[in-house]
Chains A and B, each alone.
Chain A
Amino acid sequence: MATMRLSTPLRKYSGGKPEVTVEGETLLEVLEKFDSKHPGFAEKIIENGEIKRFVNVFVNNIDVRTKDGLNTKIEENDTISILPAVSGG
């Protein structure tokens, strides 16, 4: 089982919980499985088969855009974080 951390706008799909345990071999599978129990979740993150422009997904703190995107492998005990893109400086 992996852990998925959700940013505030997504917590309505987890009953307000900031973290949930999830299953799946790839990121896409994890998101789809969670979506099957909490409909509407995946479409907040995925558009046309890609992660949406304003969403950043990290697996063990690494941006999946620098890995295999939605096909990134998810291992036991991995931590997935779904966060909005924010600027700073």
Chain B
Amino acid sequence: MRIIGLKCRNCGKKYPIDPISICEDCFGPLEVEYNYEYIREIISRKRIADGPHSIWRYRDILPVNEKVVDLGTGFTPLQKADNLAAVLGLKELYIKNDSVNPTFSFKDRVVSVSISKALEFGFDTVGCASTGNLASSVAAHAAKANLACYIFIPDDLNLAKIVQTLAYNPNLISVKGNYDEVNRLCTEIAGYYNWAFVNINLRPYYSEGSKTLGYETIEQLGWETPDRAVIPAGSGSLLTKIWKGYNEFKDLGLIDEVKTKITASQSKGCSPITSAYRSGEEITPVRPDTIEKSLAIGSPADGYYAIKVMKESGGTAGAATDREIIDGIKLLAKTEGIFTETAGGVVVGTLKNLVEQGEIEKDERTVIYITGNGLKTQDVLMEHLPTPVKIKPDLKAFEDILKKMDKKIDADTYSGVESKVRSVRSKIDEQIEEQTEVA
């Protein structure tokens, strides 16, 4: 009733609801086709608001019919970011903080949907090719659903992501190569074994989970879209699905208009989508060379559609260097108290660059998507942080070190927060001096 079938996004050929993802005529990606007329009759703001505090409050527009595998994913905070906005000179900035999902990244959205669908299809084994976040999420959901699980990862992955994934006890296979090579291997394996690879043969269902990030943003903004959304891009899928989510709400009559300029953010060391968007040429595969592993997809399968969305919405695309990624992580943490992984550093770094270049205007109501938790990529950050001071358990020792710490703050040259801290501090110092003089 709600779901009609699958349809090729490229040539329009229709298929039944099966564990397939590729059009046999043109190799284009298949997408779930909904009966929107029917859904429009049953859906309402109230029905959504009365639903569970998870992605399953949007069940009417997700491609699962039966029982769902839910670890409590979604409905994550949309946090107003006044401190970061002040540093960047923006008027109104929000952070969609998806780093607090059950396995600490947005991937729980796509995995909750795809593992539920795998059960519906009757699979007993699931798997994925992953840059880390998907690995943890698939392993966790497979554990909950009692499914056998095979996870394939590149061998240079962040240690914390490997540790987290192993804790859920899947079969973890580390492949000597980069993500694109792992993905190619898995696509071949999927052709030989009857397993549910969430991002390969279940991809039409899997990718629909990302729409919920768009739905939640609208609901949490008071049933409105933002003027600007800055979204991390690896394969480009997330960006297209957030856009789809915004537009579905409009088409279903839940909001009046979509006014969002969709903006991709990539790491400079792997930016095939941003480069193609800015040059106006076709996407050329690149070999990733960046500290940012989770977006390091050199051959982005949805890049073509991501670029279409940016053009259609009047958005843009930017990138951040490794240094800017690290600075972005630190800036977000010290202004907003949100500790993100490298992908979040990419988003903050790109936002900063695009604001400085004037491509994002200061009065735009902007939402940035922070999709993963900082605990996942501590190894990258470690060498860029100061070492903690060590003292004896003695008041005098503390006071001595405090004087040194004051000097260190004065010497810190970062233009954003520290300058604010310095100005506040000097005002306090002035007041103390005045009071001392009066006394």
A: residues with CB less than 8 A from B are 5-9, 12, 18, 44, 52-56, 58, 61, 63, 65-66, 81, 83-89
Asked whether A56 lies within 8 Å of B300 as measured between CB atoms, the reply is: no
Within 8 A of A (CB), among B119-140: 128-131, 133-134
Could you say which residues of chain B place their CB within 8 Å of the CB of A58? Answer: 184
Asked whether B187 lies within 8 Å of A84 as measured between CB atoms, the reply is: yes
Asked whether B107 lies within 8 Å of A85 as measured between CB atoms, the reply is: no
Asked whether B295 lies within 8 Å of A89 as measured between CB atoms, the reply is: yes
Asked whether A9 lies within 8 Å of B27 as measured between CB atoms, the reply is: yes
Q: With the chains together, A8 CA to B181 CA distance in Å?
A: 19
Min CB distance A70 to B, Å, is 15
Known: A54-B26, A61-B181. A86 touches B285 (CB 8 A): no
Q: With the chains together, A55 CA to B284 CA distance in Å?
A: 13
Given contacts A52-B26, A87-B235, 16 further A-B contacts (CB under 8 A): A7-B187, A9-B22, A9-B27, A54-B301, A65-B299, A66-B287, A83-B188, A84-B21, A86-B183, A86-B203, A88-B235, A88-B297, A88-B301, A89-B133, A89-B134, A89-B238
Min CB distance B356 to A, Å, is 28
Could you say which residues of chain A place their CB within 8 Å of the CB of B27? Answer: 9, 44, 52, 54-55, 84-85
**Interface SS, B side:** loop
B: residues with CB less than 8 A from A are 10, 21-29, 107, 128-131, 133-134, 179-181, 183-184, 187-188, 191-192, 199-200, 203, 207, 234-238, 284-285, 287, 294-295, 297, 299-302, 304
Could you say which residues of chain A place their CB within 8 Å of the CB of B187? Answer: 7, 83-84, 86
Asked whether B25 lies within 8 Å of A18 as measured between CB atoms, the reply is: no
Asked whether A89 lies within 8 Å of B26 as measured between CB atoms, the reply is: no
Q: With the chains together, A54 CA to B235 CA distance in Å?
A: 13
* Residue from A5, A54, A65 with most neighbouring chain B CB atoms (10 Å): A54
Asked whether B22 lies within 8 Å of A56 as measured between CB atoms, the reply is: no
Asked whether B131 lies within 8 Å of A88 as measured between CB atoms, the reply is: yes
Asked whether B183 lies within 8 Å of A54 as measured between CB atoms, the reply is: no
Q: Which residue of B lies closest to A84 (CB)?
A: B22
**Interface SS, A side:** mixed
Q: With the chains together, A58 CA to B183 CA distance in Å?
A: 12
Asked whether B234 lies within 8 Å of A89 as measured between CB atoms, the reply is: yes
Could you say which residues of chain A place their CB within 8 Å of the CB of B297? Answer: 87-89
10 contacts between A and B (CB under 8 A): A18-B191, A52-B27, A53-B10, A54-B22, A54-B301, A55-B27, A84-B187, A87-B236, A87-B297, A88-B179
Q: Which of A5, A6, A7, A63 contacts B22 (CB 8 A)?
A: A7
Could you say which residues of chain A place their CB within 8 Å of the CB of B133? Answer: 89
* Residue from B24, B27, B134 with most neighbouring chain A CB atoms (10 Å): B27
* Residue from A18, A58, A89 with most neighbouring chain B CB atoms (10 Å): A89
Asked whether B128 lies within 8 Å of A88 as measured between CB atoms, the reply is: yes
Asked whether A54 lies within 8 Å of B131 as measured between CB atoms, the reply is: no
Q: With the chains together, A86 CA to B192 CA distance in Å?
A: 16
Asked whether B301 lies within 8 Å of A85 as measured between CB atoms, the reply is: yes
* Residue from B22, B131, B180, B295 with most neighbouring chain A CB atoms (10 Å): B22
Question: Across chains A and B, which 10 residue pairs bring their CB atoms closest together, nearest first?
Answer: A87-B235, A87-B301, A9-B24, A85-B301, A54-B27, A88-B199, A84-B22, A89-B234, A87-B237, A83-B187
Asked whether A63 lies within 8 Å of B191 as measured between CB atoms, the reply is: no
Known: A44-B27, A63-B180. A89 touches B203 (CB 8 A): no
Min CB distance A15 to B, Å, is 15
Q: Which residue of B lies closest to A62 (CB)?
A: B181
Q: With the chains together, A66 CA to B180 CA distance in Å?
A: 13
Min CB distance A5 to B, Å, is 7
Q: With the chains together, A63 CA to B286 CA distance in Å?
A: 10
Could you say which residues of chain A place their CB within 8 Å of the CB of B23? Answer: 9, 54
Known: A8-B191, A63-B285. A87 touches B207 (CB 8 A): yes
Asked whether B284 lies within 8 Å of A89 as measured between CB atoms, the reply is: no
Known: A86-B301, A89-B237. A65 touches B199 (CB 8 A): no
Q: With the chains together, A85 CA to B180 CA distance in Å?
A: 10
Q: Which residue of B lies closest to A89 (CB)?
A: B234
Q: With the chains together, A87 CA to B272 CA distance in Å?
A: 14
Known: A54-B27, A63-B299. A86 touches B188 (CB 8 A): no
Min CB distance A6 to B, Å, is 8
Q: Which residue of B lies closest to A58 (CB)?
A: B184
